[in-house]
Structure 1
Amino acid sequence: MNDSRYFYAETRNALKTAIETEGRTLVPALPALGKSTGTIEILAESGQKAVIFTDTHKLYDQIENQCKKEGLRSHVLPSFHNHCSTGGKEGVREHGSEWARKFRAEYKKGRGGRELHENAKQIFGKELPCQSTGQCDYVRRLDSNLDDYDVLIGNYRHMFKPEYSESRIVIIDEFPGDGVLTTLSSDDANNAILRYLAGENSLSFMSAEDILIYRHNLIGETDHDPAVREWLLGTEGTTFESVSWHREGRNPNVTAYGSLLVRAALEDTKLADGWSQAVLSDETVIVRSPAGRVHILPPLPFDEGTNIIALDGTPSLEMWRTVLGDELEYLPVLSEEEQREWLNHLGLRIIQLSETTIPVFGGRDDPHTDYALIEEITRREETVPFVITSKNGFRNLRPFESDELVWEGEHYGNLKGRNDLDGRNPVLIIGSPQQSDLVIQKWAALRGHSAARRKDEHGNILRGTKLDFGPVGNEILRGTRESEVLQAAMRFSREVRDEKIRVYVFSCAIPEWVDPDVWHTEIKRWDDGRGMSQVVHALTHGDEWKTVKRTANQIEKVVEELYGDDGIGYNQILKHLRRLHEEFNLIRCEGKRPFVWSNLRLEERGKHSIVSLRE
């Protein structure tokens, strides 16, 4: 087995190669290998300037601290959400929600952050409160001399401002996801087309539906109508830059996209699953869902010679190439065997508890099962596990919380960048964050591929572990499901350790190379009514209940003692005793009539269910 220093060295070598290599490179380095820290160290050694685009402010802080440690001057790029005390997010704003509401309303109309500050009197009738006692932190950052800094730090939307990446190495830390997309609802997209067509006299269409009918009638024809052909040969709607927002820091009203959407509707390619894709002359990609929702991916404004490095712990190559292009080079850090070794160095023992994927997004409602798993892991480990599942999963579990069993947890969507969970043990991950078909199809469509669910030879849609979206869709599925489960598990060990961090995963959505321990899990509800609860209460009554033996008549007397007139009768008691013995194997049945009943495994039952885990 390799020494742990080997893994850090391999990561550093890959990062050094990427920084010294021209073009675009994806470096897939598992969590805790030091890719973010190593990047700053290598930048300090090379003397090259960089801009790092990432997501959370926890990551901002980590990068700033590492830059300070290496003697590099860093600067967080301006965002009114994070730096303006008038219009910023909660925790940043200092002048009340009404000011924030007015500020954001104007921003949504298309006014940029700088414009709202510089022209506040004309827009709001008075100066912004953040400017009343000095310069707003947001404006101050806008006016900073970027050449003074070695490392710039910003969010994914900052990538669209070319001045931030000029003469710098570009580092994108983790996949930006929807942070690079502009998304319009069906109504917004149709209204944008309607508004544009109302002022465009050269086209006879009145709505998106008219264009759809025109395209349908065009099937089999060799060319467009002369007026349409002339419009298509023009410049209207040919580039995303024509909406003039990313250079000026503007957030355009949705109607500004009208010309782009008209061109896309006239020239798009239909995909097999009801999606369509259009590529504009500047390589902007526009896709439309079967329900009419539109996603726009503008080109990143990086110069051709810009050195771009993508960092990701568990990447989807297809999704990264959607954003950075097919020329993106893949620079592996570790082999699959070495990755397994790394998990072992981190002390991660991943225990798979299900043979199905257990998607927890999209309305799954099975709190009895989830609660039973928490109970069983608590019993086995003698401590309550830290729980990971969906927001909805936690909502469904809330009625089960009591003084007897209280757990800490976090939902999947709030794990990114979390290092404070290191060392928590044990852990229970309930289900996988499988995205909806529309999310998978969206990214496949942006790549120009269909990702309809495949069918078997009988025409039935494949589901569960046989779910099949085709080669591109499947790769995206794994990148948004299996990889996210692994990322969640790795939040709990961020350093090399001798102790084992036991992560129980109630899903089979784990990358194949991980080779987890697979346990058989059986969950049965025993408490299916008032009568069964009474029998179990009677069986566990008294200090000696674990060893005492009772006949059904004796158990009936305990039920009467405990419940009086509300207690169930002899025949019902006998029925429940037999079920506890035959179906659940929780009690013993000895001798001939009258049978004698005693404890076998009653202490292993949960509040509502019995869980059997077999290695």
Structure 2
Amino acid sequence: MTKSAPELSIDDVRDRLESTIHTAFEQDGSTLVEALPAMGKSYHAIKWAETTGKHLSVFTSRRELYGQYEQWCINRELDFHVLPAFHHLCDTMGEGYSIENDVSEVYDAGISGAEIHRKSKQYFGSKLPCQHDGPCQYMDAREFNPEDYDVLIGHYLQAHNRDYLEDRYVAIDEFPSDAYFFDPTHNEATRAVSNYLKAEDNLPFENWKDLRYRRHKDEYEDTVEEWKDELGFYSHRDTRVQLQQNPGFHAHAPLLTHAGLEFELLGNEWEYAELGSGRKAVRSPEDEWTVLIPPPFYAAESVVALDGTPMINKWRLVLGGDWVNHETVLEDDQEKRTYLSEVLGLRIIQTDAGTKPYESGVHVNTQSDGALLESVPEREGTRPAVITSKTAKEIYRSSGLDDYIERIGHYGDLKGSNDFADTDLAIVIGSPHPPENEAVERWAAFDGESVERATDEDGQDLRGVDLDLGPLGNALFQDVVQYEVLQAVMRFGRTPDKPVHGATVYVHTSRLPEWVNPETYLEVTTWSNGMQEVVETIKSSKKWPNGEWTNKEIAEGISIGKKQVCDLMKELDEEGYVSHCRAGRGNAYHWSNVKLESLAEYGEVV
């Protein structure tokens, strides 16, 4: 007996969400709240602060999202403060000053914006331009008491400041991606280590190469262990001004040195290092370094992570702990399906397209995409909005396919966006496919795990729908690909509390989560090059549109012969685009136009 779909309303969902968020903030440590898009999870975090009177810090991705939080705070009469950002408020940056590049170099070397201002004479020999008429407005903006505000609003990176965490509850709105990554090149990392070792008397190595080859010698074991034991959280940063004049200086040199001492080889040639306090480093087979430096979230009263389609392993890593609580608003896959169809009013129509990895643009199929883009306005009576890859977006523009599109967005520009909330007809075309070394192998390495593609019996990598990266690798891949496709689908018709809401969304890729059940499946067929030649020949002839054509006449001057022309004309005849009679020498076919002008340019959709 088939399980019936549960009854679910937007009020039910939001009541559950409110209860879940209250429970999450009451728990010690970090809690991940899984709540699909359009539930109002960001708003309910602010509502929690107003209801409980607790001090809240919210960290999110883009400044344009701050306005939503500001308005919610105003509506609920909460005192709020937007945290000052160095690049946004400092007039030295972005104003065309000649010193700007020098400031950027010091900042990129791991010195904070505040430290740059405090020691500007030591770094640059004079005050910064923004300090000539008094304190920089950035430094002025830093002079506030966090206790005076119910809500602090800032970017993920600003969570590194303990003043914004202590005695406060923290909400992290959506996954911070690589915000807590430090990505030096191999040369930058090794130069920084070598530079540091020249000044560090407590380690017996002269440079990076010396450390690399002699770190495991028994004679150095006690010295190395003593150096590591003395490292605290802040001693992983080197801020000695005298060293900053040396080429290759970086404030994270002690952390990089620690990583060099700890690296262990994984099965897929990646290296992994555990650095304490949630910090980890990995090194790819191509010598690309990444250091994960989570903020000191342990200083907060509690931390609540808000995400629609979360990957628990990745959240645990960026939160810097060994464990994260996990709370869900919807109980199971059936409730998720009900939420999509009944609460959000989404009609999902999926085509028979394959995976369609569109990140690079190499596999963009303008014929198949064109057939669907032509068909949808005829089926629905209006042009659709489209979300696809950034590369495909440019290809559509250059090929004229954007004539069929009302508006277009791309993967990677959707997080927190409500630009398509009022759109009720859309197509999601193709799937993101970021480099597996970044999206899968690197994240697995942070967990000390090795991930590799499975191969077939001939030793060839499995691809497309057969792609297999093992349990952890598949989960990491799905987190980037399947859930980004789902997030794109759920960008449309996001007004569940309005009388008329919802959207019809065509999905032109197979990369949807398995629990999503499309309402309908479509088959997209594209015309062959021969068919396109035949139709173009007929429509460009002097006898168009009321004449008659034989197979021989059509075949003259094109790349296919009379027999293939005849087969293609019979297809058009069966679909009612042309008609025929047989007459003359050899009882030849004579073709006449019926409605060939209405034949779609790219193909048909059934």
Q: Is the 8 A contact 1:371 1:400 kept in 2?
A: no
| Partner deviation per Cα, 1:17-72 (whole Å, 9 max, x = no partner) | 11222221110111111111111112101000011111111221101110111111
Q: Identify which of 325, 334, 337 aligns with 1:337.
A: 334
Structure 2 counterpart of 1:578: 566
Q: Is the 8 A contact 2:444 2:473 kept in 1?
A: yes
Structure 2 counterpart of 1:34: 40
| Partner deviation per Cα, 1:224-274 (whole Å, 9 max, x = no partner) | 33125422332389455224389x9xx997644344333323332221111
Q: Distance in 1 between matches of 2:234 and 2:314?
A: 23
Task: Give the partner amino acid of 1:597.
Answer: W
Structure 2 counterpart of 1:492: 492
Q: Distance in 2 between matches of 1:140 and 1:603?
A: 68
1:385 positional shift = 1.7
Q: Distance in 2 between matches of 1:598 and 1:73?
A: 76
1:319 positional shift = 0.8
1:165 positional shift = 0.4
**What SS does the aligned partner of 2:328 have?**
coil
Matched, 1:107 2:113: no
**What SS does the aligned partner of 1:454 have?**
coil
Structure 2 counterpart of 1:241: 234
1:442 positional shift = 0.9
1:491 positional shift = 1.1
Q: Is the 8 A contact 1:316 1:478 kept in 2?
A: no
> What does 1:138-537 correspond to in 2, within 5 Å?
138-199=138-199, 208-209=208-209, 211-214=211-214, 224-235=217-228, 238-239=231-232, 241-244=234-237, 255-303=250-298, 306-324=301-319, 325-335=321-331, 336-344=333-341, 345-369=343-367, 370-401=369-400, 405=404, 407-439=406-438, 440-456=440-456, 459-496=459-496, 498=500, 500-527=502-529, 531-532=533-534, 534-537=536-539
Q: Is the 8 A contact 2:165 2:300 kept in 1?
A: no
Q: Is the 8 A contact 1:451 1:470 kept in 2?
A: yes
Task: Give the partner amino acid of 1:232.
Answer: E
Q: Distance in 2 between matches of 1:80 and 1:59?
A: 18
1:332 positional shift = 0.8
Q: Identity of counterpart residues, as a percentage? A: 34
1:177 positional shift = 1.1
**What SS does the aligned partner of 2:170 have?**
strand
Structure 1 counterpart of 2:3: none
Greater shift in the superposed pair: 225-234 or 151-160: 225-234
**What SS does the aligned partner of 1:178 have?**
coil
Give the TM-score, by structure 1 length.
Answer: 0.85
Structure 1 counterpart of 2:588: 594
Q: Is the 8 A contact 2:383 2:406 kept in 1?
A: yes
1:355 positional shift = 4.9
Greater shift in the superposed pair: 371-380 or 483-492: 371-380
Q: Distance in 1 between matches of 2:357 and 2:402?
A: 29
Q: Is the 8 A contact 1:170 1:308 kept in 2?
A: yes
**What SS does the aligned partner of 1:374 have?**
helix
Structure 2 counterpart of 1:564: none
Q: Is the 8 A contact 1:193 1:262 kept in 2?
A: yes
Greater shift in the superposed pair: 471-480 or 202-211: 202-211
Q: Distance in 1 between matches of 2:541 and 2:312?
A: 58
Q: Distance in 2 between matches of 1:503 and 1:484?
A: 15
> What does 1:533-548 correspond to in 2, within 5 Å?
534-538=536-540, 545=545, 548=546
Task: Give the partner amino acid of 1:591.
Answer: C
Q: Is the 8 A contact 1:237 1:263 kept in 2?
A: no
Task: Give the partner amino acid of 1:13.
Answer: S
Distance change (3 Å), C-alpha of 1:50 and 1:602 = same
**What SS does the aligned partner of 2:493 have?**
coil
When the two chains are superposed, the root-mean-square deviation of aligned CA atoms in Å is 3.3
1:374 positional shift = 2.2
Q: Distance in 1 between matches of 2:378 and 2:235?
A: 62
Q: Distance in 1 between matches of 2:89 and 2:433?
A: 34
Q: Is the 8 A contact 1:519 1:613 kept in 2?
A: no
Unaligned runs of 5+ in 2: 1-6
Unaligned runs of 5+ in 1: 88-92, 219-223, 560-566
Task: Give the partner amino acid of 2:588.
Answer: P
Greater shift in the superposed pair: 30-39 or 301-310: 301-310
Q: Is the 8 A contact 2:278 2:317 kept in 1?
A: no
Greater shift in the superposed pair: 389-398 or 327-336: 389-398
Q: Distance in 1 between matches of 2:135 and 2:224?
A: 47
Structure 2 counterpart of 1:49: 55
Q: Is the 8 A contact 1:240 1:284 kept in 2?
A: no
Q: Distance in 1 between matches of 2:350 and 2:558?
A: 43
Matched, 1:20 2:1: no
Distance change (3 Å), C-alpha of 1:238 and 1:581 = farther
Task: Give the partner amino acid of 1:165.
Answer: L
